[in-house]
Amino acid sequence: MKKLTIILIAAMAMIACGNTYTVQKVALTNQNDSMNYALGVVNGAQMKMYQLRNDSSIETVTEFIDALQRGYDGKVEELSEAANIGKNIGHAIKNAEKNGLADNPAWAINQKVFFQGLVNGLRHDTTVMKADDARNYFQAQYQASAMINDSVEMGKVVKGKCVYKVKTIELKNQNDSVNYAFGYLNGDEVARYVLLMDSTGQMTKDFITYINKGLKSHVKNPQIVNMGEQIGKNIKAQEAQGLIGEPSLATDFVLIKQGFINGLLGDTTMTGEQAGEYIQTTMNNIKYGSVKEDGEKFLAENALKEGVKVTESGLQYEVLKMGKGKKPAATDRVKVHYHGTLIDGTVFDSSVERGEPTSFGLNQVIKGWTEGLQLMPVGSKFRFYIPQELGYGAQQAGSIPPYSTLIFEVELLGIEK
């Protein structure tokens, strides 16, 4: 309860001001606010851990949040597959100006040579290099480059744009050959898997057009930008169904965005783990709150019945048959026959119906079983009424809904040391 109160009253979030995102407190006054914020936090924290583990700079975070906003606002151009791949290649080659071809600082990008190789690969022109030769050459050079010191100084970057026509060019040095081979391989792959059905040439034209558009952008991390745009579009598209598909929760994009920034920049007021737990608990309360209430009502009435005993933990049990053997300890392994149902009589598990007893360690099962079987001498048969907190709690367990009260008839057949 204390953790939930903290989450609902206040949390740290980020706000954008001229595309600069900084930490700022925001008031989360109700469950709807907290769910929106937590959704952003958990996704932002996961992105920081997996997608941005090598680059969580404010520049990259800003690119993502700006893209998230564009996607939500519907300001993202809808592109064909060919155009989208072209844009991404343009971004990647633009970034190679700083990072080197294929992120290798030993290889200076020569855009003119790379793009001619790309177009020749698209057209399957083999005058300069065949696909197999390009692949073998590039792989050999890539392996050899792994032996080069990372501090090697990059050579001269040559800028250019993607052309449309096949052309035979002279490869004057190793750097030219690497650029051409890498371009040719990319062109060959795109031709075989993306442009295979391009009977009119329009797909190829779009592909090259958007390569050149991508070259003109100054995006640092195009993959993250694309992800941000898509997530923003998805949030907008799903608004009508309610937050996370729950009609009782309204989407608040401002809070989601702030949560994303918070998670991305690593603020710990609400961690990704806490946000995930809060979302799961809240969704379970919304969907299965009646299961919990029905269970509590059932147990309150059941406790008043003759023959029902209640332990300090809240476990209820009836003795159907009292055995004369030894009682097991919490660390013992036991052999039992059991029949498990929900309070409405639904059977969710039964060794009796399977016709075969089962064995397990008492420290390997739910709390209600661990406690209850220690009350049973071997040869006994008890009926247990297990509150959800001594069962699976908020977790879904197979066909058992969260917060379910469980009823078990258990016969203790023996203790296996």
**349 given a catalytic annotation:** yes
Q: Indicate which residue of 64, 382, 403, 408 is catalytic.
A: 408
- Cα–Cα distance measured from residue 412 to residue 305, given in angstroms and rounded to the nearest whole number: 24
**338 given a catalytic annotation:** yes
Q: Indicate which residue of 288, 338, 382, 403 is catalytic.
A: 338
Phi, psi of 108 (to 5 degrees): -75, 135
**142 given a catalytic annotation:** no
Q: Indicate which residue of 244, 348, 360, 415 is catalytic.
A: 348
- Cα–Cα distance measured from residue 151 to residue 317, given in angstroms and rounded to the nearest whole number: 72
DSSP assignment letter at 200: S
For the beta carbon of residue 133, count every other beta carbon within 10 angstroms.
Answer: 13
H-helix or E-strand containing 85? helix 81-99
- Cα–Cα distance measured from residue 138 to residue 132, given in angstroms and rounded to the nearest whole number: 10
- Cα–Cα distance measured from residue 82 to residue 236, given in angstroms and rounded to the nearest whole number: 25
Q: Indicate which residue of 33, 125, 188, 349 is catalytic.
A: 349
- Cα–Cα distance measured from residue 246 to residue 253, given in angstroms and rounded to the nearest whole number: 15
**180 given a catalytic annotation:** no
- Proportion of the chain in helix, strand, coil states, percent, rounded to 5: 50, 15, 35
Q: Indicate which residue of 169, 244, 366, 415 is catalytic.
A: 366
260 CB-side CA count, 13 A = 26
- Cα–Cα distance measured from residue 85 to residue 102, given in angstroms and rounded to the nearest whole number: 16
Q: Indicate which residue of 64, 184, 384, 392 is catalytic.
A: 392
Contact 374, 329 (CB under 8 A): yes
**392 given a catalytic annotation:** yes
**278 given a catalytic annotation:** no
Contact 51, 302 (CB under 8 A): no
What distance lies between CA 389 and its chain's CA centroid? 28
Positions marked catalytic: 338, 348-349, 366, 392, 408
